[in-house]
Structure 1
Amino acid sequence: MNDPFPWAHATHPDWRMSTALCLAQIEQACRRGAGARATLGLLYLTDHYADAAAGILATLRERTGVTHWVGAIGVGIVAGAAEYIDEPAMALMLADFAPGDFQVFSGKSPPPARDARLPDGRRAAWTALLHADASTPDMAGIVRDMAGKLAGGRLFGGLSSSRHASTQIADEILAGGLSGVVLSENVAVAGRVSQGCQPIGPVHRITAAQGRLLSKLDDEPALDVLLHDIGAPDTLSAPGIVDTRPPRAMAGEPNNGPPAARGERAATVQMLQGTFVGIGKGEAFVRGDYLVRPLIGVDARRRALALAAELDAADHVAFCRRDRQAAQADLVRACTELRDAIERGHGGMQAVRGMVYISCLGRTGTLFGGPSAEMQLIRKQLGEVPLIGLFANGEICNDKLYWYTGVLAAFL
């Protein structure tokens, strides 16, 4: 059995000290026999180290002998059960993929062609770890296009949350666009996505929609279906648009009707403000990889809903809640499904050599209960596997760009 990938993480105001601490951890792992044949380094830095990123990369390359590196810079990173948010920190991992089984790519170096084959006949472009600049236009379209360039069609990764222009690492420090590493069919990767929420009702078929306006579900007015699913009274019968964004956006809404009616209406609006909408094709709800977008308004006269996403590519929706209980339960679900798949296909979690976790920066804080609670929950579910990653401004799994999710990927 192959050894786990050597990995390390550290925090210190001086990047040189953090780098030295990480290298000491890596060297200790190498003395135990791991990492001797490393060919690819994964590196995540908080943006406190953005100005020193080139120096960090050069030092790691020199001290480890590993030439190829990929990663990203963000406001926060993860490593094991630890979360480093808005503090100087780094995390790295060394993989020993065969040289022909991976290729670092960026705007300066294209990935292998979709139909490229290795000498053993297997596909050279099967899956990819992808990092991107969040300011790049039409990133959702770019992600779909990139997935189409892979014979396996599978991506995982995220958009940098860095406050600096240089946001990516692909054998050098880069700004803009996307980069990462393409992996061949010989590299086994298993993954799951956690939505951070749970459905509160059944999946409904879209029967009338245009753009971002959802008019009918299962041939019934969409607002009526929503109110039924969330158990809210219909206090929105008066004509008009109701804004369901956060309360600060509601300050200018007129209060019509007697005090009792205003109270009931306010209670319904508050329930709507905590509601999100899962959208996608029918089978996506079985796999749990549907998109979740906010509900931004309702049209009480037309009994329609306005979503923060185009509905042209979706044919089903499910209304969801996002709170601590739902987030914890869904992360446990994703971890359980991933662990079960690894045990069925690879004999157990001992087959995991390393993991990458990309979580949304918006999931930090109190959503999971406090500092590092998200990573501690993953550690409890999956054990002490080598794991590093990034808090992102958007998460990538397969051919979709997500918000507010966590993407787990295990190298086996």
Structure 2
Amino acid sequence: MNSPRFASAWANAAGWEDALHAVIAALPRLAQANLGFLYVSDHFAFALEPILSRLRQHTGVLEWVGATGVGVLGTQGAALDAPGISVMLGAFPLDSFRVFSGRKPLPRDFAAYAALVHGDPLTPDMSELVADMSLKVRGGQLAGGLASARQQAWQIAEEPLTGGLSGVAFSKDIQTLTGVSQGCLPLAGNWRITAAQDTLIERIDGRPAVEVFREAAGPALGADLRRAVSTLLVGLTDDDSDRRQFAARRIVALDVRTGRLAITESVDAGQHMVFLKRDEAAAREDLQHMLQELRDACPRPPAGGIYVSCAGRGGIMFDDDETEIRAIREVFGDIPLAGFFAAGEIAGSRLYGQTGSLTLFV
């Protein structure tokens, strides 16, 4: 066995036993399966231990990773704010992965080239923790998301747990590709922050930030700053060479008197940025662009995937909760797939929000 193989199943039901029974009945048998991915609706968080126990008994797979979500998804569909379970089994080459957590750190002698991680949304400085974790992965590439729940959010790394980051690291023998759709498109113009303090953008290209913001918004939005703030975002970039490579951040305050903008991340003078528009049309276009880029980058048809969507997407952003899953199927077919609606999405070395992140095993 030189490359991983996968099988998945997804089900919604009012009770966890009914949902698990439906998943087990639909889950294809996978010879040599040795790693399981489990995403459970927060409605069933109280039953994580018996769910894990029954899955181990049925599949023979001992090692599991995953998280709770305010909704779960799979190849067959997706449901936000509904009870359900999503499972994917993987048959990986021996010694090609390690499950880790705060209780069981990643071994120093394991050369990790990629990792699928899940985090606790209540852990302070999660962005810094994600960036630090990416330095422990030789390829520098993380994927995954923050567990979500109406009450206590849980991660799974062999057992249910809370706090920090957990997940599974892969050796160089496992090839993954990750794409991120932030649901927004850049407006005209490349800008540079020339004065900033913490999360406050004071001047852009030497001008008051609000003045540049109003100009970028255009006459209609610029005349209604309250609406503009709720519609537009700031995209932070490493340089101005690729306008699609950005980290979208919300604008949380605007001060006309001082000309300053406040966003949800600390910024530095000299940092490049773009202004972004987020609506359903932009989200659909960006999702299609991300999927096409991934397909073009795949050296062969993917064997399976993990999709993490923000809890603010689904039917809130699109026509219905299954819009993203249908788009994935249209591009990649009915590949084995599991995932959840998260409190934050992780890709590369960054923590995102309002995004959809697809990781493919190729």
**Shorter-chain TM-score tier:** over 0.9
The aligned counterpart of 1:391 is 341
Q: Secondary structure at the match of 1:362?
A: coil
The aligned counterpart of 1:24 is 25
One-letter code aligned to 2:291 = C
C-alpha distance in 1, partners of 2:269/2:306? 29
Q: Deviation per CA, 1:18-47, whole angstroms, max 9, x where unpaired?
A: 222222222xx33xxxx2011100111101
Counterparts of residues 25-104 of structure 1 (less than 5 Å): 25-26=26-27, 29-30=28-29, 35-104=30-99
1:109 to 88, 93, 104: 104
One-letter code aligned to 1:102 = F
In structure 2, runs of 5+ residues without a counterpart are: none
C-alpha distance in 2, partners of 1:134/1:302? 33
The aligned counterpart of 2:332 is 382
Structure with bigger gyration radius:
1
| Structure 1 residue 388: Cα displacement | 1.1
Q: Deviation per CA, 1:163-210, whole angstroms, max 9, x where unpaired?
A: 343511111111222211011111000111111111112221222222
Q: Deviation per CA, 1:119-154, whole angstroms, max 9, x where unpaired?
A: xxxxx2111110111111111111111111111111
The aligned counterpart of 1:272 is 229
One-letter code aligned to 1:130 = V
C-alpha distance in 2, partners of 1:233/1:39? 56
Contact 1:204 1:218 in 2 (8 A): yes
Q: Secondary structure at the match of 2:317?
A: coil
Contact 1:4 1:386 in 2 (8 A): no
Q: Deviation per CA, 1:84-114, whole angstroms, max 9, x where unpaired?
A: 222221111111112311000111111132x
C-alpha distance in 1, partners of 2:311/2:294? 22
| Structure 1 residue 234: Cα displacement | 10
Q: Secondary structure at the match of 1:99?
A: coil
The aligned counterpart of 1:322 is 278
| Structure 1 residue 296: Cα displacement | 2.4
Structure 1 stretches of at least 4 aligned residues deviating more than 6 Å after TM superposition:
none
The aligned counterpart of 1:7 is 8
One-letter code aligned to 2:205 = D
One-letter code aligned to 1:210 = Q
TM-score, normalised relative to structure 2: 0.93
Counterparts of residues 107-146 of structure 1 (less than 5 Å): 107-113=102-108, 116=109, 124-146=111-133
Q: Is 1:299 matched up with 2:250?
A: no
Contact 1:46 1:90 in 2 (8 A): yes
Contact 2:39 2:85 in 1 (8 A): yes
Counterparts of residues 239-318 of structure 1 (less than 5 Å): 267-282=224-239, 286=242, 288-312=244-268, 315-318=271-274
Counterparts of residues 336-375 of structure 1 (less than 5 Å): 336-342=292-298, 346-347=299-300, 349=301, 352-375=302-325
Paired residues, number = 361
In structure 1, runs of 5+ residues without a counterpart are: 118-123, 236-264
One-letter code aligned to 1:14 = G
| Structure 1 residue 218: Cα displacement | 2.4
Q: Deviation per CA, 1:42-63, whole angstroms, max 9, x where unpaired?
A: 1111011111110010011011
Over the residues paired in the alignment, what is the CA RMSD in angstroms?
2.1
C-alpha distance in 2, partners of 1:93/1:322? 32
1:196 to 180, 183, 191: 183
Residues 6 and 271 of structure 1: CA distance in aligned 2, closer, same or farther (over 3 Å): same
C-alpha distance in 2, partners of 1:161/1:306? 26
Q: Secondary structure at the match of 1:145?
A: helix
| Structure 1 residue 2: Cα displacement | 6.1
| Structure 1 residue 307: Cα displacement | 1.9
**More moved, 332-341 vs 369-378:** 369-378
Query: Greater strand share, 1 or 2?
Result: 2
| Structure 1 residue 10: Cα displacement | 1.4
Q: Secondary structure at the match of 2:9?
A: strand
C-alpha distance in 2, partners of 1:234/1:162? 35
**More moved, 215-224 vs 187-196:** 215-224
Contact 2:221 2:227 in 1 (8 A): no
| Structure 1 residue 81: Cα displacement | 4.8
Q: Is 1:219 matched up with 2:214?
A: no
Residues 289 and 45 of structure 1: CA distance in aligned 2, closer, same or farther (over 3 Å): farther
C-alpha distance in 2, partners of 1:94/1:378? 19
C-alpha distance in 2, partners of 1:216/1:313? 9
TM-score, normalised relative to structure 1: 0.82
One-letter code aligned to 1:202 = G
Q: Deviation per CA, 1:315-363, whole angstroms, max 9, x where unpaired?
A: 1111011100011111111101101101xxx14x2xx111001111011
Q: Secondary structure at the match of 1:20?
A: helix
Residues 233 and 359 of structure 1: CA distance in aligned 2, closer, same or farther (over 3 Å): closer
One-letter code aligned to 1:63 = H
